[in-house]
Amino acid sequence: MSLPLSPAYDLVVVGSGPTGSTYVREVFEQHPGARILVVEAGPRISDPPGGHVKNIADDERRAQAQRASEGPSPASPGRPGTRLLAAPDMPAAAVSTNVGGMGAHWTAACPRPGDGERIPFIPAAEMDQHLARAEQLLHVSADAFDDAPFADEVRHRLARHFDDGRPASRRVAPMPLAVTTRPDGSRTWSGTDVVLGSAARDSRVELADRCLCLRVRYEGGVVTGVVVRDLSDGGAGQETEIAASAVVVAADALRTPQLLHASGIRPAALGRYLNDQPQVVFAVRLPDDVVATHDAVTDRTRDEDGGIVPQSGVSWVPYTDDQPFHGQVMQLDASPVPLADTTPVQPGSIVGLGWFCAKDVTSEDRITFADDTNDAFGMPTATIHYRYTDRDLATIEAAKRAVTEAGTALGAPLDPAPFLLPAGSSLHYQGTTRMGPTDGDTSVCDTFSRVWNTVGLWVAGNNVIPTATACNPTLTSVALASRGARSLVEHLLRRETAATVPPSRT
pLDDT at 337: 43
pLDDT at 79: 86
What per-residue confidence (pLDDT) applies to 264? 97
Q: Residue range 313-326: average pLDDT?
A: 94
Q: Is residue 52 part of a domain?
A: yes
- Flag the least confident range among 67-71, 210-214, 336-340: 336-340
Strands (E), 15-168: 36-39, 76-77, 83-84, 94-95, 140-141
Q: Is it the case that residue 419 has pLDDT exceeding 70?
A: yes
pLDDT in tens, 151-183: 888 999 999 999 999 999 999 999 999 998 888
Can you tell me the distance from the alpha carbon of 357 to that of 144, in angstroms, rounded to the nearest whole number?
26
pLDDT exceeds cutoff 60 at 122: yes
Q: Are residues 109 and 202 in the same domain?
A: yes
Residues 6+ apart with CB under 8 A from 503: none
DSSP state of 70: T
Question: Above 70 in pLDDT, residue 504?
Answer: no
Distance CA 246, CA 432 (A): 21
Q: Are residues 123 and 246 in the same domain?
A: yes
Cis amide linkage into residue 4, ω under 30° from 0: yes
Q: Assign 302 a pLDDT band (cuts: 50, 70, 90).
A: low
Q: Which helix (H) or strand (E) holds 361?
A: none
Which has the higher per-residue pLDDT, 298 or 471? 471
Task: Give the relative orientation of helices 124-138 and 18-30 as an angle to the nearest 10 degrees.
Answer: 100
Q: Does 153 share its domain with 302? A: yes
Share of the chain above pLDDT 90, in %: 77
- Long-range contact list for 285-289, CB < 8 A, 24+ apart? 285/345, 285/349, 285/350, 285/351, 285/411, 285/412, 285/414, 286/150, 286/153, 286/154, 286/348, 286/349, 286/350, 286/351, 286/410, 286/411, 287/411, 287/412
- 201 and 346 in a single domain? The answer is no
Which secondary structure element, helix H or strand E, spans residue 499, and what is its range?
helix 474-500
Q: Does an H or E element contain 420, and which?
A: strand 419-420
Residue type for 493, please? L
Question: Which of 186-190, 301-305, 334-338, 387-391 is the least confident region?
Answer: 334-338
Q: CA 192 from chain center: how many Å?
A: 11
Mean per-residue pLDDT, 289-302: 61
DSSP state of 358: P
CATH of the domain at 249: 3.50.50.60
Decide if pLDDT at 345 tops 60: no
Q: How confident is the model at residue 109 (pLDDT cuts 50, 70, 90)?
A: very high
Q: Report the pLDDT averaged over residues 10-23.
A: 98
Q: Does residue 405 lie within any of the structural domains? A: yes
Question: Is the residue at 491 inside a domain?
Answer: yes
Predicted local distance difference test score (pLDDT) of residue 379: 96
Given a cut of 70, whether residue 348 has pLDDT beyond it is: no
Q: Quick one: average pLDDT of 299-328?
A: 78
Of 490 and 345, the one with more pLDDT: 490
Same-domain status, 455 and 344:
no
Predicted confidence (pLDDT) at residue 220 exceeds the cutoff of 70? yes
Q: What letter would DSSP give residue 34?
A: -
Those residues whose C-beta lies under 8 Å from the C-beta of residue 156, and which sit 6 or more positions away, are none
Cis peptide bond prior to 413, omega within 30° of 0: no
pLDDT of residue 426: 96
DSSP code of residue 58: S
3-state secondary structure 210-235: CEEEEEEEEECCEEEEEEEEECCCCC
Asked which of 422, 448, 471 is the last residue of a domain, the reply is 422
Percent helix, strand and coil across the chain, each rounded to 5? 30, 25, 50
Catalytic center residues: 428
Rounded Cα–Cα distance for residues 254 and 209 (Å): 19
Average pLDDT over residues 426-455: 97
Q: Is the pLDDT of residue 506 over 50?
A: no
Q: In terms of domains, do 306 and 455 share one?
A: no
Confidence tier at 505 by pLDDT (50, 70, 90) = very low
Residue type, 51: G
Q: Write phi, then psi, for 68 (nearest 5 degrees).
A: -65, -15
In a domain, 223, yes or no: yes
Asked whether residue 462 carries a pLDDT value surpassing 90, the answer given is yes
Statement: residue 223 has pLDDT above 90: yes
CA dist 80 and 53 (Å) reads: 10
101: left (phi over 0), alpha (psi -120 to 50) or beta: left
Rounded to whole angstroms, how far apart are CA atoms 176 and 143? Answer: 8
Q: Same domain for 469 and 483?
A: yes
Residue 97, pLDDT > 60, answer: yes
Ramachandran angles phi, psi of 199, nearest 5°: -60, -30
Q: Which pLDDT belongs to residue 186?
A: 77
Q: Which of 39-53, 241-255, 344-358 has the lowest mean pLDDT?
A: 344-358
Mean pLDDT of the chain: 90
Q: Contacts from 200-205 at CB under 8 Å and sequence distance 24+?
A: 200/48, 200/49, 200/50, 202/28, 204/28, 204/34, 204/35, 204/36, 205/24, 205/28, 205/36, 205/37, 205/38
Q: What is the CA radius of gyration of the chain?
A: 23
* pLDDT band, residue 266 (cuts 50/70/90): very high
Q: How many helices (H) and strands (E) does the chain have?
A: 9, 22
Name the domain boundary from 368, 398, 422: 422
Same domain, 185 and 200: no
Looking at the predicted structure, is the pLDDT value of residue 71 above 90? Answer: no
Same domain? For 30 and 54 the reply is yes
pLDDT at 85: 93
Would residue 23 count as lying in a domain? yes
CB 259 within 8 A of CB 248: no
Residue 298 or 15, more confident: 15
Q: Give the mean pLDDT of 304-311.
A: 60
Q: Are residues 265 and 173 in the same domain?
A: no
**Domain final residue pick, 422, 440, 473:** 422
Q: Is 298 exposed, middle or buried (0-12, 13-18, 19+ CB in 10 A)?
A: exposed
DSSP string, 75-115: -EE-STT-EE---TTSTT-EE--STTGGGGTS--B-PPP-G
pLDDT above 70 (res 189): yes
Amino acid type, 8: A
Closest CA to 83 of 417, 392, 424, 331: 424
pLDDT at residue 249 greater than cutoff 60: yes
Q: For residue 336, is pLDDT > 70?
A: no
Residue 276 identity? D
Contacts of 145 by beta carbon, 8 Å cutoff, 6+ apart: 151, 174, 177, 187, 310, 312, 313, 314
Strand duo 457-459 + 239-249: pairing: parallel
pLDDT score of 3: 57
**Residue 396 to residue 358: CA distance in whole angstroms:** 9
Task: For residues 307-327, give the mean pLDDT.
Answer: 84
Q: Is 287 inside a domain boundary?
A: yes
Tell me how many domains the chain contains: 2
151 occurs within a structural domain: yes
Say whether pLDDT at 384 is over 50.
Answer: yes
Residues 300 and 410 in one domain: yes
Q: Over 60: is that where the pLDDT of 340 sits?
A: no
Residue 277 pLDDT level (bands cut at 50, 70, 90): very high
In a domain, 333, yes or no: yes
Round to whole Å and give the CA distance between 392 and 398.
10
Mean pLDDT of 76-82: 84
Same domain flag for 185 and 199: no
What is the extent of the structural domain holding 182? 140-189+278-357+388-422
Question: Average of pLDDT values for 98-125?
Answer: 97
> What pTM did the predictor assign?
0.94
